[in-house]
Structure 1
């Protein structure tokens, strides 16, 4: 794992530098710099929008008594997308923009977390949640309710 990270920190900047030089030789140095600044600005706008949207959706779910488990993972991926988009380069920008696609983030979350569907659960509206063997679902039935019927 350490070798992989070391190779990643060496190879990605070298590939970014090579690609920036290639693009710069094709469209010019100032145009390349302007393009990098444009992707950072656009990325900043999208990150702010999606971050606030994710936060508002998480608050709505908590208000309805649901645990917004996957929203935390969405938030981490949005933050990672921000780091990648503000790092100069086209490869990191491409990965950053891909992480801003909600369906792709959900796919990555589904691949990373084991999930189960809980039939009959009030929160189970086609959504999955992480499997927790310590959670037992139960229904509380009061005696008063039975005596009135």
Structure 2
């Protein structure tokens, strides 16, 4: 038998991120706040008034989501008919924030309705869109190799403008012994 200090076969666990630590607490606090506000409004007005508010929020949210989805699909169709990829300046981030605002309106609660209505205001959409884009770019630059952010960064490096260049690979006339019939592929066509 050997004596000594036991060594761990498992490496030290990575430190838990702040988001994973505080997100469940934030969601729980938000739910408690929403329920409390609904009971306060129900006490001040009536339960039927709260029900009407929730139904109106759901209907308005579904209309907003439908409109933003149609606009996004129309932008995609126009871009594809022009023969190019959809650009970020065509309002795609605005459509995404409109859909998020509609979703927040559909979720029962007064705080989520207020945030959803704020996201429907164009200056707020622009400010939130710029902030989200800056944050996304900063996270991409700080991405570690082998992560999803690294994959996005590599895709942006190799295709920065999103254009696809048609072409084919032409090999030498003689084929070496390592060249098998599976390696010879037909040229790319549209």
| TM bucket normalised to smaller | 0.5 to 0.7
Larger Rg: 2
Q: How far is 1:85 from its partner?
A: 1.9
Q: How far is 1:13 from its partner?
A: 0.5
Alpha carbons of structure 1 residues 73 and 100: separation in structure 2 relative to 1, 3 Å: same
Superposition pairs of residues 41-60 of structure 1, within 5 angstroms? 41-60=59-78
Please list every run of 5 or more consecutive structure 1 residues that lacks an aligned counterpart in the other structure: 116-131, 137-149
The RMSD of aligned alpha carbons is 2.6
Which structure shows the bigger proportion of residues in helix conformation? 1
Please list every run of 5 or more consecutive structure 2 residues that lacks an aligned counterpart in the other structure: 1-18, 138-155, 162-190
* Structure 2 partner of 1:69: 88
Q: For residues 29 and 108 of structure 1, what CA distance do their matches in structure 2 show?
A: 34
Q: For residues 32 and 58 of structure 2, what CA distance do their matches in structure 1 show?
A: 20
Of stretches 76-85 and 25-34 in structure 1, the one that deviates more from structure 2 is 76-85
Please report the TM-score for the alignment, with normalisation by the length of structure 1. 0.65
Superposition pairs of residues 1-149 of structure 1, within 5 angstroms? 1-64=19-82, 65-69=84-88, 71-114=91-134, 135=160
